[in-house]
């Protein structure tokens, strides 16, 4: 089955076919290009590349080199030093205009030729050859492979670079360039002659879209703050005197080249590259501009497109009344929790948490006004620093009000500056553990210390029996002990009686499709296990394991049967108590499930 994205790209290429525009004629080698060659590539930030047309056709990078050389100059010389030589304002002029600030001689931006020649001089290197080697290696890291120069393009372009030569000498006159302007000019023309294909350009654009990290190699080519700087200038200046039309109609940081290429960057999503040599009046690929306009409209790629991210930050929210931990509680604890469980709320978040999303989370918590808050970051991919600070501040405000917030954060996506101190936020690896903590905390805060001196007598199996029946059951029970890790009841075994926990913990486990153990429920003193086998044809379906050293009182199956035979009246009482407790557990589970899904 053909991928729908691939099919869409093929469809719009056909729909946007056209023969408008002319190839660049001022460079002899470019004038000889086949005007009807075409390629479109879209690269995602996780490294998938979709291709249409001549994706492997090689051509010179030309002015698409400018944002990448600018990036290297920022990396090598720093923003302040580069900005002292090259501005960031749109010029409103054509790409080859002799456009310098009248007071300082500083080029308006790095996307026009004057600015690009200047940034070439700001890359590390003792001379033009050394700086070019740095550029060639840097471009290779952006593309994810070694690149080379098209020497025929270089010779042809250098021999006709009269206007750029004039710009270079004027820059030297204003001391924007230092040293020999011919040396810098040769370096600049050579970098414009680097041979690429459309797949290379798409991956170079995707590296910028991915915050400076190459989508396939994982190589951090450029630091994220510098990526923001480069993309900002590309947005306002990358399409020269057509920049305003481009931002309005397409809305992506972009850069074009006179060989017929255009790249577009949608931060966090994709890099796009188009190659079609016929140029419009602004020196941009005519068919390329049409394709970008179509894709931006169809795929909602405009950076100003209003998303619903702030509304979607909260994946789900619910109170403890709707979802409990996997810990089986005693009837007294259940009754206590039923009274106060709405005081704890859980907020499951997802996606990239930017400021608007964090604001939505904070507003939800403040409006709900819970006493205990569990924030689940399991499905959050990344979190902006402003969002982290906002949520840390919320935690502090909750504590001041006598409340508390904890996080479920197995991947540590929200680092805590107070980690390792008593002020640190309590962290859990999964929701069930966080819910168990919240249950314990609510019981401690609102119910005091429940009487656990004789947890067994409070179990429904015994608490509702007559004195005579209770004495008979206690007399029939035998004591068992198990060490941590022991299998108390194996899955598949027959009904072995009712096991009441006196001290310690036990867990009921099942196994997933891959054979890994899954904990279904944790049981503590005053709770029981084994009786559910009575409802499954007397077969124990789950494995019961001692989670700690365990003391049990066991009413074994044979003893239960004998008690019923010896005194049918007591037997009826006991079986009624067993059935009543089973219905209680099932009804509670069904009620919580219905509440959660309503």
Which residues are registered as beta bridge partners of 497?
none
- Distance (Å, whole) CA 383 – CA 365: 18
CA 536, chain centre distance (Å)? 43
Domain range list for the chain: 4-299, 310-446, 455-597
* Contacts (Cβ under 8 Å, ≥6 apart) of 496: 489, 530, 533, 540, 556, 557
User: Between these two residues, 275 and 160, which has the higher pLDDT value?
Assistant: 275
pLDDT in tens, 281-339: 888 899 999 999 999 888 888 887 765 554 568 888 999 888 887 777 777 778 888 89
Tell me which of 23-37, 50-64, 95-109, 352-366 is least confident: 95-109
The predicted pLDDT at position 1 comes to 57
C-alpha separations of 477 from 7, 20, 462 in Å: 71, 93, 12
Bridge partner list, 279: 22, 285
pLDDT band for 516, please (50, 70, 90 cuts). Answer: confident
State the average pLDDT over residues 489-514.
Answer: 87
CATH code given to domain 310-446: 3.30.750.24
Q: For residues 50 and 7, is the Cβ–Cβ distance under 8 A?
A: no
Catalytic residue (choose from 258, 289, 361, 545) = 258
Mean pLDDT computed over 59-84 = 96
* CA 109 to each of CA 100, 183, 304: distance values in angstroms, whole numbers, following the listed order: 9, 21, 23
61: CB partners within 8 A, 6+ apart:
139, 191, 192, 193, 194, 195, 196, 201, 257, 259, 261
58-68 mean pLDDT: 96
- Strands in 414-542 per DSSP E: 427-428, 478-482, 487-489, 498-503, 506-511, 517-523, 528-529
**Euclidean distance between CA atoms 469 and 302, whole angstroms:** 76
Confidence of residue 455 (pLDDT cuts 50, 70, 90): low
- 188, 270, 276, 373: the catalytic one is 188
Would strands 498-503 and 528-529 be described as parallel, antiparallel, or unpaired?
Answer: antiparallel
CATH of 455-597, one of 2.60.40.4070, 3.30.70.330, 2.60.120.10, 2.40.50.1020: 2.60.120.10
Question: Cα angle vertex 251, ends 217, 204, to 5°?
Answer: 20
pTM reported for the whole predicted model: 0.67
Look at residue 354 in the predicted model and tell me its pLDDT: 79
* Predicted local confidence at residue 7, as pLDDT: 87
Torsion of CA 539, 545, 550, 554, to 10 degrees: 0
- Please identify which residue in the block is written with the tokens 């199996």: 461
Of 45, 52, 63, 121, which one is the catalytic site residue? 63
Is the confidence at residue 208, as pLDDT, over 60?
yes
pLDDT of residue 307: 56
Q: What is the pLDDT of residue 56?
A: 95
pLDDT score at 598: 43
Alpha-carbon gap, residue 459 to 323, rounded angstroms? 23
Percent of the chain with pLDDT over 90: 45
Between strands 39-44 and 270-275, the pairing is: antiparallel
Residue 59: the pLDDT is: 95
Query: Residue 228: which residues within 8 A CB-CB, separation 6 or more?
Result: none
Q: Give the mean pLDDT of 197-221.
A: 96
- pLDDT at residue 14 is higher than 50: yes
Q: Which fold has domain 4-299?
A: Beta-lactamase (3.40.710)
**Catalytic residue (one of 50, 59, 240, 347):** 240
The pairing of beta strand 372-383 with beta strand 344-353: parallel
CA separation for the pair 455, 448 (Å, rounded):
16
Per-residue confidence (pLDDT) for residue 126, from 0 to 100: 92
pLDDT at 355: 74
Mean pLDDT of all residues in the chain?
A: 87
Residue 73 has pLDDT above 50, yes or no: yes
Strand 404-408 vs strand 427-428: parallel, antiparallel, or unpaired? parallel
| pLDDT higher than threshold 50 for residue 597 | no
DSSP line for 150-205:
-HHHHHHHHHT-HHHHHHHHHHHHTTSS-S-HHHHHHHHHHHHTEEE-HHHHHHHH
Backbone φ, ψ for residue 7 (5° rounding): -65, -40
CB atoms within 10 A of CB 486: 13
In sequence order, what are the residues at sequence separation of 6 or more whose Cβ sits closer than 8 angstroms to the Cβ of residue 3?
Answer: 50
Query: Residue 373 gets which letter from DSSP?
Result: E
Quote the tokens at residue 95.
């790409």
Residue 98 pLDDT grade (very low, low, confident, very high; cuts 50, 70, 90): low
Of the pLDDT bands very low, low, confident and very high (cuts 50, 70, 90), residue 195 is very high
> Which one has a higher pLDDT value, 286 or 513?
286
Intrachain domains 310-446 and 455-597 with the same fold: no
Query: Does the pLDDT of residue 154 top 90, yes or no?
Result: yes
Catalytic residue flag (residue 258): yes
> In the structure encoding, which two tokens stand for residue 237, read together?
């200046």
Distance (Å, whole) CA 169 – CA 347? 62
pLDDT reading at 410 higher than 50: yes
The verdict on whether 188 is a catalytic residue reads: yes
Residue 63 annotated among the catalytic residues of the structure: yes
Distance in angstroms (rounded) separating the CA atoms of residues 495 and 186:
88
pLDDT score for 155: 92
Q: Which residue is catalytic, options 50, 66, 227, 247? A: 66
- Return the pLDDT at 94: 56
pLDDT tens readout for residues 227-254: 999 999 999 998 877 888 889 899 999 9
Task: Provide DSSP, 23-65.
Answer: ---SSHHHHTS-TT--EEEEEETTS-EEEEE-TT--EE-GGGH
Most confident of 106-110, 362-366, 529-533: 106-110
* Residue 586: per-residue pLDDT: 63
Other CB atoms closer than 10 Å to residue 43's CB: what's the count?
A: 28
Give the separation between CA 148 and CA 135, rounded to whole angstroms: 11
């Amino acid at each position: 089955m053909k991928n729908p994205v691939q099919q869409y790209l093929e469809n719009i290429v056909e729909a946007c076919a056209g023969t408008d525009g002319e190839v660049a004629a001022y460079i002899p080698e470019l004038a000889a290009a086949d005007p009807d060659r075409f390629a479109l590539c879209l690269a995602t930030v996780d490294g998938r590349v979709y291709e249409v047309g001549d994706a492997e056709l090689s051509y010179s990078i030309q002015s698409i080199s400018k944002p990448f050389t600018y990036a290297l100059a920022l990396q090598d010389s720093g923003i302040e030093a580069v900005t002292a030589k090259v501005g960031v304002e749109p010029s409103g002029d054509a790409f080859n205009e002799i456009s310098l600030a009248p007071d300082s001689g500083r080029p308006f931006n790095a996307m026009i030729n004057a600015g690009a020649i200047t940034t070439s001089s700001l890359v590390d290197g003792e001379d033009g050859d050394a700086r070019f080697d740095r550029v060639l290696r840097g471009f290779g890291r952006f593309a994810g492979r070694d690149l080379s120069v098209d020497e025929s393009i270089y010779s042809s372009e250098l021999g006709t670079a009269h206007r750029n030569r004039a710009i270079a000498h004027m820059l030297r006159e204003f001391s924007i360039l230092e040293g020999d302007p011919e040396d810098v000019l040769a370096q600049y023309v050579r970098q414009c002659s680097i041979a690429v294909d459309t797949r290379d350009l798409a991956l170079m654009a995707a590296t910028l879209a991915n915050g400076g990290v190459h989508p396939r190699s994982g190589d951090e080519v450029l630091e994220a703050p510098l990526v923001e700087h480069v993309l900002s200038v590309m947005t306002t200046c990358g399409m020269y005197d057509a920049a305003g039309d481009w931002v309005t109609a397409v809305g992506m940081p972009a850069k074009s080249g006179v060989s017929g290429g255009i790249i577009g960057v949608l931060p966090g999503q994709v890099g796009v590259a188009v190659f079609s040599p016929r140029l419009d009046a602004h020196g941009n690929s005519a068919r390329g501009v049409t394709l970008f306009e179509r894709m931006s409209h169809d795929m909602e790629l405009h950076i100003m497109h209003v998303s619903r991210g702030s509304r979607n930050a909260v994946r789900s929210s619910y109170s403890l009344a709707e979802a409990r931990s996997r810990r089986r509680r005693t009837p007294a604890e259940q009754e206590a929790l039923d009274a106060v469980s709405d005081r704890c709320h859980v907020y499951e978040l997802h996606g990239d948490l930017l400021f608007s999303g964090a604001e939505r989370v904070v507003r939800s918590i403040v409006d709900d006004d819970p006493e205990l808050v569990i924030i689940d970051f399991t499905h959050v991919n990344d979190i902006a620093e402003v969002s982290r600070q906002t949520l840390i501040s919320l935690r502090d405000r909750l504590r001041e009000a006598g409340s508390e917030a904890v996080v479920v954060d197995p991947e540590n996506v929200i680092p805590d500056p107070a980690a390792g101190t008593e002020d640190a936020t309590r962290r859990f690896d999964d929701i069930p553990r966080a819910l168990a903590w919240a249950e314990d905390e609510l019981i401690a805060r609102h119910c005091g210390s429940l009487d656990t001196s004789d947890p067994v007598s409070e179990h429904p199996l015994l608490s509702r029996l007559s004195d005579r029946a209770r004495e008979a059951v206690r007399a029939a029970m035998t004591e068992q002990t198990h060490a941590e890790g022991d299998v108390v009841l194996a899955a598949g075994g027959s009904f072995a009686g009712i096991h009441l926990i006196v001290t310690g913990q036990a867990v009921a486990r099942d196994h997933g499709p891959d054979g890994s153990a899954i904990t279904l429920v944790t049981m503590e003193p005053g709770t029981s296990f084994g009786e559910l086998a009575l409802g499954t044809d007397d077969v124990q379906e789950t494995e019961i394991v001692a989670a700690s050293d365990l003391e049990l009182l066991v009413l074994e199956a044979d003893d239960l049967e004998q008690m019923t035979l010896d005194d049918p009246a007591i037997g009826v009482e006991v079986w009624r108590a067993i059935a009543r407790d089973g219905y209680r557990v099932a009804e509670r589970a069904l009620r919580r499930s219905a509440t959660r899904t309503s």
